[in-house]
Amino acid sequence: MKRVSATTLLLLAGLCLLIVQPAAAAEKVWIEAQGYVLYQDERGDMIRKNFTAYRDVLFPDKTKEIGYFLCEYERIISQIPVKDITSIRKDPMSKSVWIRANGKEYHAVITQDLSYALTNMKHVEMRYYNDITQREETGFILGLNLHEIHFTDTSRVAY
């Protein structure tokens, strides 16, 4: 009986390592960009939330670089540096987005949603200043609810 239990425990430990390994391989980095997002909450109200940084994630098997926005522009997969972007607005009826960067506006296409194109994740994790607690806090917004991202200060973006 002890032999079966030890073997079972070893198999379970191996499975746990296989599950944890892909998450451990991802590199998470805070991008020191300030701005605000417009998103729709569960009641359907549009909410504006200011942020001081957002978390980008680099997966080894993904092509998106840290600190870039991944989209298809003029039928070519493009990565636009966040430090050049002023705003990104989603077209609610399609997968199209309007990107304002370097004083010009571009019409592009994204494969999933705004958060995936920005962070490689289904949500945007961000740091923000909470006026009530008077502290920096961390929160996230699901990409499906995200409508616009505006960058007001990207001078400290290092990527």
Q: What is the pTM of this model?
A: 0.80
| Residue 125 covered by a domain | yes
Backbone φ, ψ for residue 97 (5° rounding): -135, 155
- For residue 82, the enclosing domain spans 28-153
| Residue 6 covered by a domain | no
- Count the domains in the chain: 1
Closest alpha carbon to 66 in 7, 17, 120: 120
Q: Give Cβ neighbours of residue 141 (< 8 Å, ≥ 6 apart).
A: 37, 39, 49, 115, 123, 124, 126
**Partners of 4 in beta bridges:** none
| Residue 54 covered by a domain | yes
| Residue 141 covered by a domain | yes
| Residue 91 covered by a domain | yes
CB neighbours (10 Å) of residue 113? 19
| Residue 11 covered by a domain | no
Residue type, 57: V
> pLDDT per position in the chain (159 positions), as tens?
444 444 443 444 444 444 444 445 678 999 999 999 999 999 999 999 999 999 999 988 888 999 999 999 988 999 999 999 999 999 888 889 999 999 999 999 998 899 999 999 999 999 998 888 989 999 999 988 999 999 999 999 987
Give 64's DSSP letter.
Answer: P
